């Protein structure tokens, strides 16, 4: 019985690494355009010129599909189509209503801000990462998460983050996640 319950918990955490499809053959996207820094506007170091929020910062994909474009505007070519709600993304630049984002593989493009959510999520990058009952390597293992699983982040300490998915909640080593910086802490 206990083995069957553990298998169910593990299966609930099973994920896939897919969720992003190239829109077409992609050339290397250009670096952040000069337009990302509005003329005559002093941007504080480490903050976006539009929102005055930290750069880089993590957000998540709001809906079931979003297009990443070559530049900040609807007239720019679509390079990627993201299809995983909650996918963590790193915002690296801002221009008006557009945000330059990167995914865990370092690819991305410009997305309209309405496609992004401030909800913090993370992607498991370590195969069979152990979800523990406390932020301690000796704490009880509640479940194991496969590479590619996306979970909500609730709190991060120097070495651990408390995450949840499908009703399960626990602690995972920060090194097993993409979507949080190594030095970042919050609650």
E strands, 65-179, are: 66-69, 78-82, 88-95, 98-102, 108-112, 116-117, 121-124, 129-132, 141-145, 150-156, 160-165, 168-173, 177-178
Q: Would you place residue 43 in the very low, low, confident or very high pLDDT band (cuts 50, 70, 90)?
A: confident
Mean pLDDT, rounded, of the chain: 85
For the chain, counts of helices (H) and of strands (E)? 1, 15
Nearby residues of 180 by Cβ (< 8 Å), 6 or more positions away: 58, 120, 122, 153, 156, 161, 174
**Least confident window among 5-14, 76-85, 110-119, 169-178:** 5-14
DSSP 29: P
Number of other CB atoms surrounding residue 167 within 10 Å: 7
- Structure tokens given for 56: 């880089």
pLDDT (average), residues 14-32: 46
177 in Cβ contact with 159 (< 8 Å): no
- Structural domain tally of the chain? 2
Q: Would you place residue 27 in the very low, low, confident or very high pLDDT band (cuts 50, 70, 90)?
A: very low
pLDDT of residue 154: 98
Residues 25 and 103 in one domain: yes
pLDDT of residue 5: 29
pTM: 0.81
Structural domain ending residue among the three candidates 68, 87, 119: 119
Residues 78 and 127 in one domain: no
pLDDT tens digits, residue range 131-177? Answer: 999 999 999 999 999 999 999 999 999 999 999 999 999 999 999 99
Asked if the structure places residue 99 within a domain, the reply is yes
Helices marked H in the chain:
2-13
pLDDT of residue 33: 55
**Least confident window among 4-8, 28-32, 117-121:** 4-8
User: How many angstroms separate the CA atoms of 160 and 53, rounded?
Assistant: 24
Question: In sequence order, what are the beta bridge partners of 165?
Answer: 168
Residues 114 and 126 in one domain: no
Q: Which tops the pLDDT comparison, 41 or 132?
A: 132
Number of other CB atoms surrounding residue 41 within 10 Å: 8
Residue 167 sits in a domain of what CATH number?
A: 2.30.30.40
User: How many angstroms separate the CA atoms of 63 and 61, rounded?
Assistant: 6
Q: Domain span at residue 145?
A: 122-178
pLDDT of residue 41: 62
């Amino acid at each position: 019985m206990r083995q069957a319950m553990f298998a169910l918990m593990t299966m609930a955490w099973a994920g896939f690494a897919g969720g992003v499809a190239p829109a077409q053959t992609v050339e290397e996207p250009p670096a952040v355009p000069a337009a990302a820094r509005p003329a005559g506007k002093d941007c504080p170091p480490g903050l976006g010129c539009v929102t005055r929020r930290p750069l880089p910062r993590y957000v998540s994909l709001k809906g079931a599909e979003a297009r990443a474009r070559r530049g900040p505007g609807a007239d720019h070519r679509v390079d990627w189509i993201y299809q995983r709600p909650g996918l963590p993304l790193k915002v690296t630049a801002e221009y008006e209503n557009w945000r330059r984002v990167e995914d865990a593989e370092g690819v991305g493009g410009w997305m309209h801000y309405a496609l992004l959510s401030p909800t913090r999520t993370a992607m498991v990058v370590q195969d069979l990462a152990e979800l523990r009952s406390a932020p301690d390597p000796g704490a009880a293992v509640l479940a194991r998460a496969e590479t590619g699983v996306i979970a909500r982040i609730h709190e991060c300490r120097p070495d651990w983050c408390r995450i949840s998915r499908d009703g399960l909640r626990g602690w995972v080593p920060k090194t097993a996640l993409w979507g949080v910086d190594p030095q970042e802490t919050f609650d």
